[in-house]
Amino acid sequence: MRASYVIRKLIGAVSTLAFVAVFNFFLFRVVNRNPVDSMFRGRNLTREQLDELTRKFNLDGSKWDQFVAYVRQLLRGDLGLSFRGNRPVVDVIAEALWPTVLLVGTSTLLAMIGITIGYRAGWKRGSRGDTVSTSLSMLTYSMPEFFIGMVMLGIFAASLGWFPVGGLEDPGSTATGLEQLLDQFHHMVLPALVLAIAYVGEYMIVARSAMIETLREDYLQLARAKGMRDDEVRRKHAVPNARLPVVSLSAINFGFVFSGAIAVESIFSWPGLGQATYLAVRGPDLPVLQGLFLLMSATVILANLIADLLYGVLDPRVMGR
């Protein structure tokens, strides 16, 4: 790997992360001058109580002092206290992390089937298979993921009763081990399918247009002239090139799936980061919302960095010798 490329991408990621952190501060302490006031508006608190809360949430002192304190806190991995129940934001998030990793991971893997479909559709552009899969992709692209969720919930859970209507596991369940895992899997099927359906089209369209970009390349003609079969030309010569833009766009897509989880988790009462976001919006619980925003941004920035590095590995022209 060429060090300069890696370093450049690392600096890019860190600068984006720094931008997000500063933006976050700006948003919650400058745009919204005193969050505590708006937070507890209409709750009949005395001035003293409000001042007390202001100190507790680190909102006293000059903006600069606040900023320094905020950065110090951030570097320690401390995201402050939730407005509700006096719990550290980190705990609230940590609790919700695993269900989301499970859900987003599963549905991303499922949605990535779209890449293979897209390559094939682009390869046989204008064919019946291409028309059908492109039309379906446009249809799912046009549906808000939570609307897909509502329809699927209505059909497969409420009417047919094949799947539970929500939650991580059956309420009051004492199952452990494999049984517990199966129960959780049963609960995850619908939300994971919903997210996969909502985003499989994005992957498909990205892969399709990347494939179409490579269709005219001379090396495909050479490969055919060598006597390779059509599908071998696709697999061995077209796909390795079409893969490059797909890698970069997959990272952006991952951000979409992550975002889509917010509304879908709230529909299926899936106790992950998405539902935590939903509840924090409803609260509103600004410290939790801030922490979630930082975490989600950091995850997507990391995904982009990984995609950039992978790109370097896949395209010898980037890394060279």
Partner 1 sequence: MTAAIAWARRRASAAASWRRMRRDRLAMVALGVLLACVVMALIAPLVSDRADFNAINTGDNPTHASPTGQFVLGTDGLGRSMALQVMWGARVSLLVGFAATVLMIGIGTLIGLAAGFFGGWTDAVLMRITDWFMVIPFLPLAIVLAAVLERGLGTIVLVIGITSWPSTARLVRSQVLSVRERLYVDRARALGAGRLHLIGRHILPNVTPLILANTTLAVPIAILTETTLSFLGLGDPSEVSWGGLLERAGSSAVKEGYWWEYLPPGLGIVAVVLAFTIVGRALEEVLDPRLRER
Partner 2 sequence: MSVLELRDLRVTYRTEGGPVPAVRGVNLTIESGDTVGLAGESGCGKSTIAAAVLRLLPKGTQVEGTVLLNGEDVYAMKPGRLRAVRWTGAAIVFQGALHSLNPVRRVGDQIEEAIRLHRTVTGAAVGARVAELLERVGLQGAHAERYPHQMSGGQRQRVLIALALACEPTLLIADEPTTALDVMVQAQVLALLEELQRERGLSLLFITHDLSVLTSTCRRLAVMYAGRIVEEGPSVDVFARPDHPYSAALAAAFPTIGDSASRMNPQGLAGDPPDPSALPGGCPFHPRCARAVDECATNDVALRVSGPGRRAACVHVKEAADG
Binding-site member from 33, 73, 222, 231 for partner 2 (CB under 8 A): 222
Q: Of partner 1, partner 2, none, which one sits near residue 90, judging by CB under 5 to 8 A according to partner kind?
A: none
217 lines the binding site for partner 2 (CB under 8 A):
yes
Residues across the chain: 321
Binding-site member from 70, 123, 163, 256 for partner 1 (CB under 8 A): 256
Decide: 151 and 145 in contact? Cβ < 8 Å.
no
**CB of 109 vs partner 1, minimal distance in Å:** 19
Q: What angle do helix axes 89-111 and 273-282 make, rounded to 10 degrees?
A: 130
What residues contact residue 54 under an 8 Å CB cut-off, 6+ apart?
34, 36, 60
Six token digits for residue 190 = 């619908």
131 lines the binding site for partner 2 (CB under 8 A):
no
- Residues 167-206 binding partner 1 (CB under 8 A) are none
What residues contact residue 119 under an 8 Å CB cut-off, 6+ apart?
207, 208, 211, 234, 238, 239, 242
Distance CA 201, CA 115 (A): 9
314 lines the binding site for partner 2 (CB under 8 A):
yes
Q: Of partner 2, partner 1, none, which one sits near residue 197, judging by CB under 5 to 8 A according to partner kind?
A: none
211 lines the binding site for partner 2 (CB under 8 A):
no
Six token digits for residue 80 = 């402050």
Site string for partner 1, 206-235 (x = CB under 8 A): ------x-----------------------
Binding-site member from 69, 110, 165, 189 for partner 1 (CB under 8 A): 165
Q: Of partner 2, partner 1, none, which one sits near residue 217, judging by CB under 5 to 8 A according to partner kind?
A: partner 2
CA neighbor of 198 nearest in space, from 253, 142, 149, 140? 140
23 lines the binding site for partner 2 (CB under 8 A):
no
**CB of 78 vs partner 2, minimal distance in Å:** 45
Indicate the residue among 37 and 213 with the shorter CB distance to partner 2.
213
Residue that the structure tokens 């951000």 belong to: 255
Indicate the residue among 202 and 308 with the shorter CB distance to partner 2.
308
Q: Of partner 1, partner 2, none, which one sits near residue 45, judging by CB under 5 to 8 A according to partner kind?
A: none
C-alpha to C-alpha distances, 39 to 45, 49, 73, nearest whole angstrom:
11, 13, 22
Binding-site member from 11, 229, 231, 284 for partner 2 (CB under 8 A): 229
Indicate the residue among 161 and 227 with the shorter CB distance to partner 2.
227
Decide: 121 and 134 in contact? Cβ < 8 Å.
yes
Distance CA 252, CA 57 (A): 34
Stretch that binds partner 2, among 33-41, 60-68, 225-233, 304-312 (CB under 8 A): 225-233
Distance CA 250, CA 256 (A): 10
Q: Of partner 2, partner 1, none, which one sits near residue 88, judging by CB under 5 to 8 A according to partner kind?
A: none
Half-sphere exposure of 301 (CA within 13 A, CB side): 19
Distance CA 295, CA 93 (A): 9
Which residues are at the interface with partner 2 (CB under 8 A)? 217-219, 221-229, 236-237, 240-241, 244, 314-317, 320-321
